[in-house]
Chains A and B, each alone.
Chain A
Amino acid sequence: MMSLDDLISTAETVVKKTLGLGADEAECYLSRQRTVEVEVNGDLVTVNEGETVGAGIRATIGRRVGFASVSTIESEKLYASADRAVSLARVRPEDPKFRHLPDPVKRPSKSGIFDERVESLGPAQLIDGSHKALAEARSHRELSFVYGSFLANTWMFAVANSRGVNCGDRRTAMDGYISCKASSKNEERTGSDLIISRSLVTYDGLGESAAKRAISSLGSQRLDPIELPVIFDNHTSTLFTMLLGYGISARSVQEKRSALEGKLGQGVASPNVTIVDDAEMADGIRTAAYDDEGVPTMRKPIIEDGVLKTYLYDSYSAHLEGRESTGNGLRQAREPYKALPQPSPINYHVKPGSKTLDAMIRETDRAVLARYELMGAGHSNWLTGDFSVVATNAFLIEKSEVKHPLRPTTVAGNVYEALKNVVEVGSDLRLDGQGKVPSLKIARLKCGTG
């Protein structure tokens, strides 16, 4: 197995080779990952284990940038890719906004957790852990279907460029997801639970929790279209951070497709909202000492007491404004070497308030409570922030109590308006792929069931 140092030196070799092929500047990003996956679909079990390693090469000639990638690091194919990157840079027109690849930046930054126990986890252990959790769900006779997906992943990356960047980092990650369907005479309802961690986890309790969530949604009632306050729990509140990611990207702003253009220093959220991009979160899933183009990552507030403090920059967007990258150049793909860096948050940290979810419910006269899962969040209008999602586990709150479950409930609004209407921030931070986010209460949104 290759070490991180081996990976960095391979990247450096490719950079030299790419310069030799005629590039003015060159960058090589390599990523290697080992994945064990278990998927359980009812009684059907599939298990998959394997390792991938690949390279993404940027070659520049003047202001012309070519990018090529390949899913192997066999030298012959690697150099053929370098050649494709250089050839593309030769034939394409200039990109007047491109300045240069990133320079090495000296700035202290932190790696996240790397757990050797995850690195050495074999398929047998993962299968065993997943089956215990699934057995919890299956012990409930109301359930008619159980689905589970479990993964252990070890990942490392290296990046080198001809301006002197040469670095890398690694991480381990595990996740588990169980979704099930509870049936009664005239109703079918789903429930799910999810766990994600950089360290070794057991899946104990995951199946029980998913089952209870489905069962507790049985006996649902209709809700005629109405505007009501909505409490999003610490699962569904990630809708807001997810949509925010598009608007705070400096590239979205520069390319005039961000609703936050020109809003720097202005109030964009209610004063109780503080959102930090926390690259120092040791257990944060995307924490790494460097971003995917070798710039040290950093912790910085995005929204402080409701005021927009910064956009997120990769080197391309930063150089265009004559500033330094904020260390947010991430390659967003299952195999990151296949993608170019784009500004993206590392880990959100929403500053928690003082109240638990229960306390928020107690102080509410009438509201919709959207728990656990939303459908259609990814199909929102990223540009405008308009969303229309279906809360699959929604409940009606009346006079400080959860009165009854609702049928799948459509909740519609606009993320940027909703952020200004956050009336309460919960104390219950939960770790998710996006970072740590608490429950949020929004003053009013359109709600209704079919």
Chain B
Amino acid sequence: MAAMRDLLAYGLREAERLHVPFAELRGEDIIRNSISSERGEIKTTDSLQSVGIGVRVIKTGVSGYSYTTQLTEDSVRETVKRAAGIAEASEPYAKLRLRLQYGDPVRAAEKPRVRRHPRGVEFEEKKEFALRCFEAAQAKGRSVATITTRYGEAYGTRLFANSEGTEVETELLITGLGLNVVSKEADVLVDASEGLGGTLGLEAYEGEHSPEAMGERAAQWAAEKLKASKAPAGRFPALIENELAGVLAHESFGHMTEYDFVQTGGSPLKGRLGEQLGSEHATIIDEGVVANPTYPGFWLPYDDEGARTKRATILEKGVLKGYLHTRTTATVEAVEPTGNGRAVDYSFEPICRMRNTYFTPGDLSLEEALQLVRDGIYAYGTAGGQVNFDGTFLFKAVRGYRVKNGELAEPLRDVAITGHILNLLREVQGATRDFKLKASFSGGCGKGRQYPLFTGLGGPHLVLKEATFGGEQ
């Protein structure tokens, strides 16, 4: 990485020569490998290398961004010049001026600690991960039409340097293993997925998360969905499973606390710090480094503005406690940056994004939670979701169960939950002790054109007094 480091230093000198008061450069060299199988045969074996340098300058409070994938001094010089030119061209239109509080320079180099880094493990073993998932699912499945599995890993170096003298080098690492089982009987076509992902060494894919265990679970769930009934529409008490709770924390609440949305009026949470928005059982955290060895999510000690990531408690016992900040938004509010300035890759400038977002666990056992729901719906897993600027959301649980008399009853197919997030937070009646947090290798968060960003999502099971279910055919 010495050559890349030299190029960043060269870019900073060029910025100084152009009288740019503030410049930051990011360099990355990341390898992303994946192995997929379909119906028991290895389908694709990919190895993608992403190298590039991004340059952001701030001049008279206006930013300009450009990037290059040609790692030469000439190209870096041109890129710095282009970024400075963009800042000048934008200047007449920028109503909101960025202010950057100059900070003390940070010098750091950090690597995640895992036992078996994928870099040192042969292809053969990873290939077997994908095939073992298949075999277990095939053996346990019922009327299986197809099974796809995927192992993925991304690792490499990210460098950051700015005009203040900050130099940060971190190693990115994420691995993931997952599968999708499709079962078909007559005209009924159903599927189920299971997987694990995050900043994990390969030792993570053992025990509960071994390819066999995950394969069997997915196959059983798909078989169960074959006889599942349609989810009813209407309002019901609900039990929300861990992953879906994570999606709610991230999509529905987290985004509204991103300060760029707050600042510009895009978020309904402007000016509401200290307000009781949810029940006392709802606490939501966003942080870069999660101290949970089984579920670390995506490890991010520094953000893409060279700031140390901090734990941000955005909702505490239902009270709005804080927003998520980049360096520039923090300066506007005269608060400490939380380390939420992130970019998908070298071709984008850092904007306010989440890291690992989750509801904190409560004190209920799963049995107690079911008793609390009594008669309602248990919504499980997620096929994603979407939130509108007005707080309206729609989430897809991939499957579910009816809860009758505090016990699990018949299985349900795809379940959609809709409503307004602030109403939903008030409905949280309790949370369980169990906790899961995952970051997806192949998916991620999207904001504007920046997709997919590695983020972690999770939480305990949540009990909702009432939620609106959409129902499907």
Residue-wise, chain B 167-193 has the 8 Å CB interface mask toward A (1 for contact) of 000000000000000101000011100
Indicate whether B386 reaches chain A with its CB closer than 8 angstroms. Answer: yes
Most buried by B among A41, A81, A96, A392: A41
Chain A residues close to B by CB (< 8 Å): 37, 39, 41-54, 65-72, 74, 77, 80-81, 84-85, 88-89, 91-97, 122-124, 127-128, 131, 144-145, 147, 149, 151, 179, 181, 188-190, 225, 255-257, 259, 334, 338, 340, 375-376, 378-379, 381, 383-384, 386-390, 392, 408, 410, 412-414, 417, 446, 448, 450
- Rounded to whole Å, the gap between the CB of A377 and the closest CB of chain B is 9
- Rounded to whole Å, the gap between the CB of A291 and the closest CB of chain B is 18
B interface residues, how many (CB within 8 angstroms): 84
When distances are taken between beta carbons in the complex, the residues of chain A under 8 Å from B418 are: 390, 408, 410, 450
Distance between Cα atoms of A50 and B419 in the complex (Å): 40
- Rounded to whole Å, the gap between the CB of A18 and the closest CB of chain B is 14
State whether A190 and B266 are in contact (beta carbons under 8 Å apart), knowing that A72-B70, A93-B42 are contacts in the complex: no
Distance between Cα atoms of A387 and B386 in the complex (Å): 14
- Rounded to whole Å, the gap between the CB of B243 and the closest CB of chain A is 14
Contact A47 B65 (CB under 8 A): yes
Indicate whether B115 reaches chain A with its CB closer than 8 angstroms. Answer: no
Residue of B nearest to A89 (CB): B45
Distance between Cα atoms of A414 and B182 in the complex (Å): 18
Distance between Cα atoms of A410 and B351 in the complex (Å): 32
Contact A71 B66 (CB under 8 A): no
Which of B49, B385, B472 sits near A70, CB closer than 8 Å?
B49
Distance between Cα atoms of A17 and B77 in the complex (Å): 31
Q: Which residues of chain B from 93 to 149 have any CB-CB distance to chain A below 8 Å in the complex?
A: 93-96, 123-124, 127, 145-146, 148
Which of B44, B48, B389, B468 sits near A181, CB closer than 8 Å?
B389
Residue of A nearest to B64 (CB): A47
Distance between Cα atoms of A235 and B391 in the complex (Å): 22
State whether A412 and B44 are in contact (beta carbons under 8 Å apart), knowing that A69-B49, A379-B396 are contacts in the complex: no
Distance between Cα atoms of A25 and B468 in the complex (Å): 55
Contact B384 A379 (CB under 8 A): yes
- Rounded to whole Å, the gap between the CB of A194 and the closest CB of chain B is 14
Residue of B nearest to A387 (CB): B472
When distances are taken between beta carbons in the complex, the residues of chain B under 8 Å from A190 are: 388-390
**Contacts A72-B69, A259-B189, A384-B189 given; 11 further ones with Cβ under 8 A?**
A43-B96, A123-B86, A179-B389, A256-B145, A256-B182, A340-B46, A389-B394, A390-B388, A392-B388, A412-B416, A412-B471
When distances are taken between beta carbons in the complex, the residues of chain B under 8 Å from A414 are: 472-473
Residue of A nearest to B30 (CB): A71
Contact A47 B90 (CB under 8 A): yes
Contact B468 A81 (CB under 8 A): no
Distance between Cα atoms of A383 and B62 in the complex (Å): 46
When distances are taken between beta carbons in the complex, the residues of chain B under 8 Å from A65 are: 44-45
Residue of A nearest to B265 (CB): A145
Residue-wise, chain B 201-234 has the 8 Å CB interface mask toward A (1 for contact) of 0000000000000000000000000000000011
Which of A39, A44, A93, A147 sits near B389, CB closer than 8 Å?
A147
Which of B189, B263, B347, B470 sits near A410, CB closer than 8 Å?
B470
Contact B470 A69 (CB under 8 A): no
- Rounded to whole Å, the gap between the CB of A239 and the closest CB of chain B is 13
Most buried by A among B39, B127, B349, B473: B473
Indicate whether B89 reaches chain A with its CB closer than 8 angstroms. Answer: yes
- Rounded to whole Å, the gap between the CB of A210 and the closest CB of chain B is 12
Distance between Cα atoms of A24 and B176 in the complex (Å): 31
A-B contact count (CB 8 A): 257
When distances are taken between beta carbons in the complex, the residues of chain B under 8 Å from A49 are: 65-66, 82, 86
Residue of B nearest to A179 (CB): B389
- Rounded to whole Å, the gap between the CB of B226 and the closest CB of chain A is 12
Distance between Cα atoms of A297 and B65 in the complex (Å): 37
State whether A88 and B45 are in contact (beta carbons under 8 Å apart), knowing that A74-B70, A147-B266, A386-B472 are contacts in the complex: yes
Which of A81, A89, A179, A446 sits near B473, CB closer than 8 Å?
A446
Contact A408 B44 (CB under 8 A): no
Indicate whether B1 reaches chain A with its CB closer than 8 angstroms. Answer: no
Sampled A-B contacts (10; CB under 8 Å): A43-B94, A71-B52, A122-B89, A225-B233, A255-B148, A376-B386, A381-B191, A388-B471, A408-B388, A446-B233
Most buried by A among B48, B89, B396: B48
State whether A379 and B394 are in contact (beta carbons under 8 Å apart), knowing that A45-B94, A49-B66, A145-B265 are contacts in the complex: yes
Distance between Cα atoms of A37 and B348 in the complex (Å): 10
When distances are taken between beta carbons in the complex, the residues of chain A under 8 Å from B82 are: 49-50
Contact A74 B71 (CB under 8 A): yes
Indicate whether B420 reaches chain A with its CB closer than 8 angstroms. Answer: yes
Contact B265 A446 (CB under 8 A): no
- Rounded to whole Å, the gap between the CB of B244 and the closest CB of chain A is 13
Q: Which residues of chain B from 442 to 473 have any CB-CB distance to chain A below 8 Å in the complex?
A: 448-449, 451, 468, 470-473
Distance between Cα atoms of A49 and B351 in the complex (Å): 16
Most buried by B among A50, A71, A128, A387: A50
Distance between Cα atoms of A420 and B46 in the complex (Å): 40
Listed from nearest, the 5 A-B pairs whose CB atoms lie closest are: A42-B264, A43-B96, A388-B416, A43-B95, A188-B390
Indicate whether B268 reaches chain A with its CB closer than 8 angstroms. Answer: yes
Indicate whether B414 reaches chain A with its CB closer than 8 angstroms. Answer: yes
When distances are taken between beta carbons in the complex, the residues of chain A under 8 Å from B182 are: 256-257, 383
